[in-house]
């Protein structure tokens, strides 16, 4: 299987993770013109599972190092499988809750609360689980990235035509979603072997862990997304019949979105062998700022915004860049 051989390559893969996690939502934005989020989400989940299999039978099964994808699955202990699958269930619930929080409270509230908690708490949890990297540089960088996320949210709020009262329900959902998003990665990490070259008996490689994780997302989606379809946060209830009325474009867009996200997740846990889970997760969660770049330069979301918003955006990108540099340096100390 493919194994990362240097810290430099691990950092490059983490940056690709950031790009993937910050870009997949563009497919949902495109699909939203004619396709409900609940329907899009089914294809998104299928895309994650499909790409986990593709990676398993390609990168996870090639080369002479480590253990092959199928061989590793056969020897995996139930504890490892349950841990990776639990990670998928937790991620799925967190993802749905954060999307729901955005629809209720708006991006300016849901993002700094949900993703901010996920970033800071997630790095702490993963660092405690496997300490790797200089903590001062790591947590200093995480703090700067967290501030950048808050400033990004302020920019969105100032862009709004009018200020509306934020529902308490939206804040609560943001908090719960953020805490869950901070936890899922550690469950996947706990299922994986510490040595990729010589995996410990019963534990998973990144490729088999990703596949089991994806199964957890798919299985739990029959509960979570079915409830969402019956009792949506916005719009009227929909049935499974609506899903099968979708055309090739609608289904392909969702599958593509899931595959893009899965590339990011795969590279993140593959890179963790050299970078450490805390650094790998922290860099990946900088995806919020990548999404902001899409919003600024491609979707022109700030086209008519006042000058003060542009100042906030500039400060956001400066803090974001400085935070990333500190996180990268943390791994070399």
Q: What is the mean pLDDT of residues 45-60?
A: 97
CA distances in angstroms from 40 to 46, 144, 248, listed in the order given: 10, 33, 12
Residue 311 inside a domain? The answer is no
| 201 within some domain | yes
Q: Which of 162, 119, 134, 164 is nearest to 320 (CA)?
A: 119
Closest CA relative to residue 284, chosen from 24, 4, 78: 24
Give pLDDT, residue 69: 96
- Residue range 292-301: mean pLDDT, rounded: 77
Residue 323 maps to a domain? no
In this structure, is residue 333 part of a structural domain?
no
Average pLDDT over residues 286-297: 79
* 207 touches 196 (CB < 8 A): no
225-272: per-residue pLDDT in tens? 999 999 987 789 999 999 999 999 999 999 999 999 999 999 999 999
Annotate 218-277 with DSSP letters as a single string.
HHHHHHHHHHHHHS-SSS----HHHHTT--HHHHHHHHHHHHHHHHHHHHHHHHHHHH-H
Residue 162 has a pLDDT of 46
pLDDT digits (tens, 9 = 90+) for 135-164: 999 999 999 988 988 888 788 777 665 445
Return the beta strands (E) in 2-121 as ranges.
none
The answer as to whether 216 is a domain residue is: yes
* The overall pTM is greater than 0.85: yes
Q: What tokens does 251 get?
A: 């289904």
Tell me which residue range forms the domain holding 43: 7-134+166-276
Question: Measured in whole angstroms, how far is the alpha carbon of residue 156 from the centre of its chain?
Answer: 21
Question: In this structure, what token pair is assigned to residue 307?
Answer: 């000058």
Over 70: is that where the pLDDT of 191 sits?
A: yes
The answer to the question of residue 97 being in a domain is yes
Give percent helix, percent strand, percent coil of the chain, each to the nearest 5: 75, 0, 25
Asked, for residue 177, whether it belongs to a domain, the answer is yes
Question: Do the domain assignments include residue 148?
Answer: no
Between CA 319 and CA 233 the distance in angstroms is: 34
Q: Is the predicted pLDDT of residue 315 greater than 50, yes or no?
A: yes
Q: Which residue would you say has higher pLDDT here, 114 or 267? A: 267
Span 91-117, average pLDDT? 80
As for how many domains the chain has, the answer is 1
What's the gap between Cα 169 and its chain centre? 23
């Amino acid at each position: 299987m493919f194994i990362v051989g240097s810290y430099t390559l691990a950092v490059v893969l983490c940056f690709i993770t950031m790009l993937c996690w910050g870009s997949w939502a563009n497919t949902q934005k495109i699909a939203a013109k004619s396709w409900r989020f609940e329907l899009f989400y089914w294809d998104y989940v299928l895309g994650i599972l499909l790409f986990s299999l593709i990676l398993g039978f390609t990168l996870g099964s090639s080369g002479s190092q480590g253990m092959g994808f199928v061989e590793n699955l056969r020897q995996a202990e139930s504890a490892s499988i349950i841990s990776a699958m639990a990670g998928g269930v937790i991620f799925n619930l967190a993802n749905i809750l954060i999307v729901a929080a955005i629809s209720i409270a708006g991006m300016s509230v849901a993002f700094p609360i949900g993703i901010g908690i996920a970033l800071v708490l997630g790095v702490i949890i993963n660092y405690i689980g496997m300490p790797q990297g200089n903590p001062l540089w790591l947590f200093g960088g995480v703090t700067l990235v967290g501030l950048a996320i808050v400033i990004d949210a302020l920019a969105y709020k100032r862009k709004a035509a009018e200020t509306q009262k934020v529902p308490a329900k939206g804040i609560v959902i943001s908090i719960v979603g953020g805490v869950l998003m901070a936890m899922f990665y550690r469950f996947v990490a706990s299922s994986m072997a510490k040595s990729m070259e010589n995996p410990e008996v019963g534990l998973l490689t990144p490729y088999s862990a990703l596949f089991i994780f994806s199964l957890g997302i798919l299985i739990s989606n029959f509960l979570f997304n079915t409830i969402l379809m019956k009792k949506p946060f916005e719009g009227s209830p929909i049935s499974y019949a609506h899903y099968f009325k979708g055309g090739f474009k609608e289904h392909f867009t969702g599958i593509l979105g899931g595959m893009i996200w899965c590339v990011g997740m795969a590279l993140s846990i593959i890179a963790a062998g050299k970078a450490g889970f805390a650094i790998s997760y922290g860099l990946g969660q900088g995806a919020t700022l990548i999404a902001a770049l899409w919003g600024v330069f491609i979707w022109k979301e700030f086209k008519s915004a006042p000058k003060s918003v542009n100042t906030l955006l500039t400060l956001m990108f400066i803090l974001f860049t400085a935070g990333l540099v500190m996180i990268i340096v943390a791994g070399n100390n």
